[in-house]
């Protein structure tokens, strides 16, 4: 099983590498998809072998995955060419959401056992929900809703307060408070951070923001790997986190902008981003 996961990781790296050049890009995507099929098949084999899968668990898992896959495929096939960036942002959002839910479900399950992964759990919840909310806002902005920077009096203060709440409740979870509601406070506050982070940024900067959030999701997935003690999640997540960070910088450079200035609320984007 671990060899299958290793094979998948190699496919991901090679796939990303092939996507560096237009001539091999499509093959790169196919290599990466092949690795994904192997990884998912290996995961199914793993849990089937584990003997703890009840009928209800299979039902929940398979129904969820099939519904999601169906919706995803339909959306990817039917979307207009011009609307693709929004869709990527949506897929990014749900990826972060899934990583976040893994941490919550695992925490609820192991709450009194002190599994020793509390740091990874809260990081997963924090990063996952920031990217979930942020990517939804980014997709909405690209779609044309609120594409102007949205600022309101006290916005920065509110942002700071929400961030403090998120970090504070996260610290409480790390300090073994062992309470699911505290983790849910972290979740809600981090959603607020994601929302407030992207709202003041203009629509023209969204590709860079989505790339950054993409790197965030990668990191969240790597954290989910720590939570579940699963190496393929850690590897693929770190891979996406790092390459996404580089790509974010490349995209910002190509647009003659700097990432910090975009994240600080974008100077002068209002004039361009309509």
User: Binding residue for another protein (CB under 8 A) from 111, 165, 177, 228?
Assistant: 228
Footprint of another protein on residues 164-203 (CB under 8 A)?
none
Footprint of another protein on residues 21-40 (CB under 8 A)?
21-23, 25-30, 32-33, 36, 39-40
Residue 259 tokens, joined: 């990432």
Which residue number, 12 or 137, has a Cβ lying nearer to another protein? 12
User: Binding residue for another protein (CB under 8 A) from 69, 174, 175, 272?
Assistant: 69
Contact string (CB under 8 A) for another protein, positions 102-141, x = contact = x-xxx-xx------x-------------------------
Asked if 252 and 208 count as a contact pair (C-beta separation under 8 A), the reply is yes
86 binds another protein (CB under 8 A): no
User: Binding residue for another protein (CB under 8 A) from 3, 82, 85, 196?
Assistant: 85
156 binds another protein (CB under 8 A): no
142 binds another protein (CB under 8 A): no
Contact string (CB under 8 A) for another protein, positions 235-264, x = contact = xxxxxxxxxxxxx--xx--x----------
CB of 86 to another protein, least distance (A): 11
CB of 206 to another protein, least distance (A): 11
């Amino acid at each position: 099983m671990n060899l299958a996961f290793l094979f998948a990781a190699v496919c991901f790296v090679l796939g990303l590498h092939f996507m560096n050049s237009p001539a091999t890009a499509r093959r790169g995507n196919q290599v990466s998809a092949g690795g994904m099929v192997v990884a998912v098949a290996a995961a199914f084999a793993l849990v089937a072998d584990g003997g703890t899968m009840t009928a209800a668990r299979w039902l929940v898992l398979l129904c969820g995955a099939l519904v999601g896959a169906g919706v995803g495929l339909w959306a990817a096939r039917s979307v207009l060419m011009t609307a693709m960036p929004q869709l990527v942002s949506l897929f990014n959002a749900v990826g972060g959401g899934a990583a976040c839910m893994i941490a919550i479900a695992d925490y609820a399950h192991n709450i009194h056992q002190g599994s020793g992964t509390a740091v990874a759990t809260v990081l997963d919840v924090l990063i996952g929900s920031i990217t979930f909310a942020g990517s939804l806002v980014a997709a909405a902005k690209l779609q044309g809703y609120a594409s102007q920077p949205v600022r309101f009096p006290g916005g920065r203060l509110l942002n700071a307060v929400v961030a403090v709440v998120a970090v504070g409740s996260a610290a409480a979870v790390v300090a073994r408070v062992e309470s699911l509601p505290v983790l849910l406070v972290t979740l809600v506050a981090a959603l607020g951070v994601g929302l407030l982070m992207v709202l003041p940024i203009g629509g023209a900067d969204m590709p860079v923001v989505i790339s950054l959030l993409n790197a965030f999701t990668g990191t969240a997935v790597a954290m989910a790997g720590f939570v579940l003690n699963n190496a393929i999640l850690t590897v693929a997540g770190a891979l996406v986190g790092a390459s996404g960070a580089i790509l974010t910088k490349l995209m910002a450079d190509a647009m003659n902008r700097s990432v910090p200035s975009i994240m600080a609320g974008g100077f002068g984007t209002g004039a361009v981003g309509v």
